[in-house]
Amino acid sequence: MVLLEPCTSAFTAKDVTSFIMNRIVRMGWRPERLTSDHDLRIIGEAGQQLAGFLGARITSTPPHHRQANPVERHVQVVQRVLRAMSTTRSGLWDEEVLPAVELAINSSVSVATGMTPFDAIFIDSPRMVDALLRGDEHSGVGDWAERFRLARARLSEARTRITAERARQKEGYDERHGPLPTLSPGSSVWIRLRDRPVRSAPSGKLDPVRLGPFVVRRVLSAHRVLVDVPPELNIEDEFDVSQLEPHPSGPDPFAEERELESAAPSTSASAPRPPPVVVEPDLPTVSSAILPRRGQRQRQPAPVIRDPTYAVNVLRPDLSTPLLPQSADAFADPIARTKIVDWEGTRVEMVERPVAFLSRTMTLAESKLAGPELELACICWAFTRSQHVLEGAKVTVVTDHAPVHGMLHSRPGALPYGHAVERARTILRPQLDNLRIVYRPGRLHVNVDALSRLVRDPPARPGRRASFGGGDVMGSL
């Protein structure tokens, strides 16, 4: 049964005590247990005095699986019903909607018991009160002894149905889950970070998803254990078994590799090091009939060492040597216009077409940037979004903003750029050797220009961003 009382954020422990005394104790009920989600108004001094006066005990919801608590489930149901019934006149929810919600929930038939809370507690529902007062007899029940027997029968039936429903739910749960691991004091376990997040643990995409191993100190029940966790983690030592994963007990498949690594002699610091061996690369034989390539896309190998002057110090062949055969020269530069090339004896018409399109709406700060600054922000976002594809690859960026190349390759501190440009330079600095900026005027930049002219959505309300279905796109690649 649900009893609801409107309250404000200034609801004190005295108000909670008054509500319990007026709505529960005054009706002749004496609660046996007061359960709270660690609310100080219940587990505090005032709640302890009230529990001592009523002879009840105070308990708190467990730190794990709070969604399985029946009180929390009822709170969620009440919130959904209030939200559905307060769409038109939300300002009067405490006076008009809340009493109707309380009556509706208490008059609804429970799936588990097959009866309403009013039927289980008051024997009859409120809709039968008038008929009960007008008639001399009701359903063959004449005196109070028969009414008490009817109440006991209904409570017994409700308990029987609840037990059967729990058994059915347990059977369905066991079919979808494996058995709980058997843990004992001294067992090694790993904390599954997906089920029990630890704030001090690494949370990157490439970081481990488990933390440990740790030793089980004590087994409280089949579902709860105490684990010896280091104090620097700043977490409680009580864990649910579903949040832990036992340490593998089988043989280590990498034991031989670890033994070889441990048996390998360590290099002494005083031992003389052999002189470095410099291997000169063999230059491939180039036929005089092959013309030198036009672009610089494949002529800049990735650097090994960088110095403050941004000079590349690597061993590399002469840049005049073509790295690809002449047949691949058609793809060296972007194709501004349609052209016909001879590809393995066949005349092929080369047309540039977009393969992928990435875009998003601009933020309020980005909408105030200049054209080249916005272009750099777009390139940084594209590299961050497609880092798994563009990392270490040769990339050509075609833009209709001529200053972009100079803004990226200028000496640091030479020009006072804003924070947007400096952020772009920092993000794109490791990619500069594999990144080529090609300037193409707007009249020739037809593909990206057409993609950027999408149908715009209606302007969003003040304080809200436009939808991702269209609007002002941040940029196109």
Rounded (to 5) percent helix, strand, coil in the chain: 40, 15, 50
Instruction: Tell the burial category of 284 from Cβ atoms under 10 Å away from its Cβ (0-12, 13-18, 19+).
Output: exposed
Residue-level pLDDT at 66: 59
Calpha distance 108→101 (Å, rounded):
11
Residue-level pLDDT at 467: 40
Residue type, 167: A
User: Which structural domains are found in the chain, ordered by start?
Assistant: 13-160 (3.30.420.10), 188-246 (2.30.30)
What pTM did the predictor assign? 0.37
Residue-level pLDDT at 257: 76
Instruction: Report the interhelical angle of 98-106 vs 70-85 (nearest 10°).
Output: 130
Cα 257–261–267 angle (5° rounding)? 160
**Residues with Cβ < 8 Å from 105, sequence gap 6 or more?**
2, 74, 77, 78, 81, 117
**Residues with Cβ < 8 Å from 346, sequence gap 6 or more?**
none
Residue-level pLDDT at 217: 92
User: 238-240 and 224-228 as β-strands: parallel, antiparallel, unpaired?
Assistant: antiparallel
Residue-level pLDDT at 103: 84
Residue with tokens 């491939």: 284
Residue-level pLDDT at 228: 92
Calpha distance 60→43 (Å, rounded):
8
* Largest pairwise CA distance in the chain: 118
| Contact of 81 with 56, CB cutoff 8 Å | no
Q: 409-418 burial, b if ≥16 CB within 10 A, otherwise e?
A: eeeeeeeebe
What is the pLDDT tens value at each position of the chain, 477 positions in all? 888 888 887 888 888 888 888 888 887 788 888 887 777 788 888 888 888 888 888 887 766 665 566 777 788 888 888 888 877 766 677 777 888 888 888 888 887 777 888 777 776 655 554 454 445 555 555 566 777 777 788 788 888 888 888 888 888 878 777 778 888 899 999 999 988 888 888 777 777 888 888 999 999 988 889 999 998 888 888 998 888 999 888 777 777 777 776 665 554 444 455 555 444 545 445 444 444 444 444 444 444 334 444 444 333 344 444 444 444 555 555 555 667 777 777 777 777 666 667 777 778 877 777 777 888 888 888 888 887 777 777 788 887 777 777 777 776 666 667 777 778 777 887 777 788 888 777 665 555 555 555 544 444 444 444 443 333 444 444
**For residue 285, what are its two tokens?**
């034989």
CA 332 to chain centroid: 41
**For residue 317, what are its two tokens?**
């062949």
Residue-level pLDDT at 457: 46
Q: 352-385 burial, b if ≥16 CB within 10 A, otherwise e?
A: eeeeeeebbbbeeebeebeebbbbbbbbbbbbee
Residue-level pLDDT at 233: 86
